[in-house]
Structure 1
Amino acid sequence: MIGRSFFLLSLLQAVVSGQWSADNPRDVTAQNGLCARIPCRYRYLSNLNNEPRTGIWFNSETKNPQSVAFHSGDPSLESTKFQHRTRLSGILRDNDCSLVIDNVTQQDAGPYYFRVEFGGVNSYNYRPVTRLQVIDFTDKPTIFPAEMVAGQPVTVTCIFNTTCDGTAPTLTWVTPADEPTSASHSVTQRGDTLTYTSVLSLTPALKHHGQNLTCRVRYPTVSSEQILTMTVQYAPQNLSITSPDNVNNFWVSIKEGNSAAILCSVQSFPASNLTWRHLSVTLNTTRSSNELWMEFPQLTQQDAGVYQCVAENEHGTAEKDVTLIVKLSVWDRTGKYVVAVIVLAVVLGVSVITTAIFWAVCCRNKRESSVTQRKEQKAEDGPVESPYQELNVGDRDLYSELQLRSI
């Protein structure tokens, strides 16, 4: 009989304990500074449905008055460190015993269990406990980028999602100091998720390209931020033409026969389509690039002239002309004159020598002809005795001169 009674008592306890049960996780993780939520659904004896009840959460393994984290009947019984920070997210009469702890810190980590009391007579401690782990705050807001064009107003949206419906975060913007801005804020909820939204209105300028927009979310003890680097689109500008050999805004001068390279560069976003033109003919082109070289393997006089570089993207066009001057080399400038002078000198020298030879031959012929004529005349006249007839012409002249001086 005793064994039979013990069996019936054990069976009754099993049935009763089956009615007193709860669904709660064994582990919960929360981020420092946010909230911790311990989901909980509890069951009890059906005959207590209409009875008043008190829900109590303990931050311990056992019932310890010093570790009360939440008390639905008398909040003054809560531990000092939990006061004004804990609440139930549901309604006890609806069997919802979920606990929320706002502004969680590392000191809040540890075991938690729920206890329900019906008038102090029927009560139950729901086990096993749930262990709370507190980690560093890592959640960040999200910025949704928008297409930015210099001089055109634009809106940029930042959102932050959380399941904490206690302390509300604040969303703020950090923008370039010289840019006047305005922002609107809103909160929406879907299920347990709250979405905080901030919409920033601004008019970007070219100088803002590459600068940062920052959306910051802040709680009482922690904060985080997301940074967006602004990519401001703008038409081509500051187009320049340069050459390693000669840098000038309007012309490039390079020696004939040398190789040459001329660079066209521009600032734009998105990158421009660049084109080199000469005499209305396209010489070279490239797409989605802010630089384009034009190269000459060996310059000739035919390469001289005006060249035009054109940059174009979806926001505008820029163009610039440059004059290519092909210089004659040092030999070309002076050597030709030197050759001309030498040739002229040679021609003149040959002419002078030829003339001198001509006159020398001519005079010699005349002298020989004169001597011959005198000899022939003497032969016709016969021999004439003369004291110096045996002398040559030069000696006779000298002898005659001496005779005249003696007279």
Structure 2
Amino acid sequence: MVKLCFYDRHRIVGDPARGEYNLEVRETKLEDDGKYKCYTNPTAAADAILTVVVPTPNPPSISGGELTLTAGEQLSLTCRSSGGHPAPRLTWLNGTDPFQSSSVSSDEDKTLELFIPRLTKWDDGTNFTCLADQGFPELAKPKGSSRILRVKYPPLVQVPSPSVHVREGEPASLSCMVDSNPKAEVTWRKVGEALPSLKIIRDHLLQLPKVSRTDGGLYQCEANNGVPPVGLGSVTLQVYCE
């Protein structure tokens, strides 16, 4: 058996009769990481690579996007990992799908940028996850951190029934549906005239319990949540007399 005099944690084991020589390393340390050569003839050496895995102590950290943003603004998130060997590969996920970022990770700084030049209302509630994977899941499980986006956007008003037809003396309901973040305050008005005195206003719904011929006209609902522009919807009420 060959003895390695200066490496008391290393020894060659195997079956020399069968030409089997294995290098055993006890109490593996990070300094053992690297390339090894096995040979009887230096011109015909076989290479073997030993990777010593030191799991990252903590999940990656995410900076940026802590505050609520507004649609139209840009988003920049930075994922940073520290410690561990080998350096983890960082990946951004949108939910469970990989997100194409404008930057790539590097072993030197272990950071990965995510950039969206213009946010939309559809980005509200998006869950971005930064995953750090060292490539040896059986020894070091991938670690991830997440950031849920909060995006403010102006009111979008939709009118289910732009034109409402009722007979005089019957009730009428005018409605507009509002999508916004944060929630918008909805106000009603009648173009060119005051609202009927007999009315019930419940947020997006304007109810007239008993319409008269003078109630006919153009009504508008206005939604305002502080994020411009203000949302506007129109409903025409036509009253038929007996």
Whole-Å Cα distance in 1 between the matches of residues 80 and 149 of structure 2?
18
Deviation (angstroms), 1:75: 4.8
- Is 2:10 aligned against 1:76? yes
Residue 103 of structure 1, aligned match among 37, 53, 58: 53
Deviates more, 1:267-276 or 1:172-181: 172-181
Deviation at 1:206, TM superposition (A): 3.6
Preserved CA contact (<8 Å) 1:275 1:284: no
Q: What's the secondary structure of 1:183's corresponding residue?
A: coil
1:216 CA displacement: 0.8
CA distance in 2, matches of 1:253, 1:179: 50
1:152 maps to a residue whose letter is E
> Aligned residue for 1:218?
133
Match of 1:269 among 181, 189, 194: 181
| Structure with larger Rg | 1
Q: Is the 8 A contact 1:274 1:285 kept in 2?
A: no
Unpaired runs of 5+ in structure 2?
A: 13-22, 33-50
- For residue 103 of structure 1, what is the amino acid of its counterpart? V
**Residues 82 and 211 of structure 1, relative CA distance in 2, 3 Å threshold:** farther
Higher fraction of strand: 2
- Residue 214 of structure 1 and its aligned partner are, at CA, apart by 2.2
C-alpha contact 2:201 2:207 (8 A) present in aligned 1: no
Which of 86, 111, 115 is the equivalent residue of 1:201?
A: 115
- The alignment partner of 1:316 has SS state of coil
Q: Distance in 2 between matches of 1:273 and 1:285?
A: 12
1:120 — aligned with what? Answer: none
Unmatched 5+ stretches in structure 1: 1-70, 89-100, 106-136, 189-194, 243-247, 334-407
Alignment: residue pair count? 197
In 1: Cα distance, 2:6 partner to 2:186 partner: 74
Is 1:241 matched up with 2:195?
Answer: no
Q: 1:151 aligns with which of 72, 77, 83?
A: 72
8 Å Cα contact 1:161/1:196 also seen in 2: yes
State how far apart, in whole Å, the 2-side matches of 1:311 and 1:305 are.
20
Q: Which residue of 1 aligns with 2:20?
A: none
CA gap 1:145/1:284 in 2 versus in 1, 3 angstroms: farther
Of 272-281 and 138-147, deviating more is 138-147
Cα 1:82–1:260 change in 2 (3 A) is farther
Q: Aligned ranges for residues 8-407 of structure 1 at < 5 Å?
A: 73-77=7-11, 80=24, 82=26, 85-87=29-31, 102-103=52-53, 139-146=58-65, 147-162=68-83, 164=84, 166-175=85-94, 181-183=101-103, 196-203=110-117, 204-221=119-136, 222-237=141-156, 239-242=157-160, 248-249=161-162, 251-278=163-190, 279=192, 281=194, 292-312=204-224, 313-328=226-241, 333=242
Shift, 1:168, TM fit: 1.7
Tell me the distance in 1 between the aligned counterparts of 2:219 and 2:115.
44
**Separation in 1 of the partners of 2:173 and 2:98?**
41
Counterpart contact for 1:145–1:228, Cα < 8 Å: no
Q: Which residue type is aligned with residue 73 of structure 2?
A: Q
TM-score (norm 2): 0.62
- Tell me the TM-score normalised to structure 1 length: 0.40
Contact (CA 8 Å) 1:235, 1:315: kept in 2 or not? Answer: yes
CA RMSD in angstroms, aligned pairs only: 4.1
Instruction: Judge conservation of contact 1:141–1:159 (CA < 8 Å) in 2.
Output: yes
Q: What is the DSSP-based 3-state SS (H/G/I as helix, E as strand, rest coil) of the residue aligned with 2:214?
A: helix
By how many angstroms is 1:223 displaced?
0.8
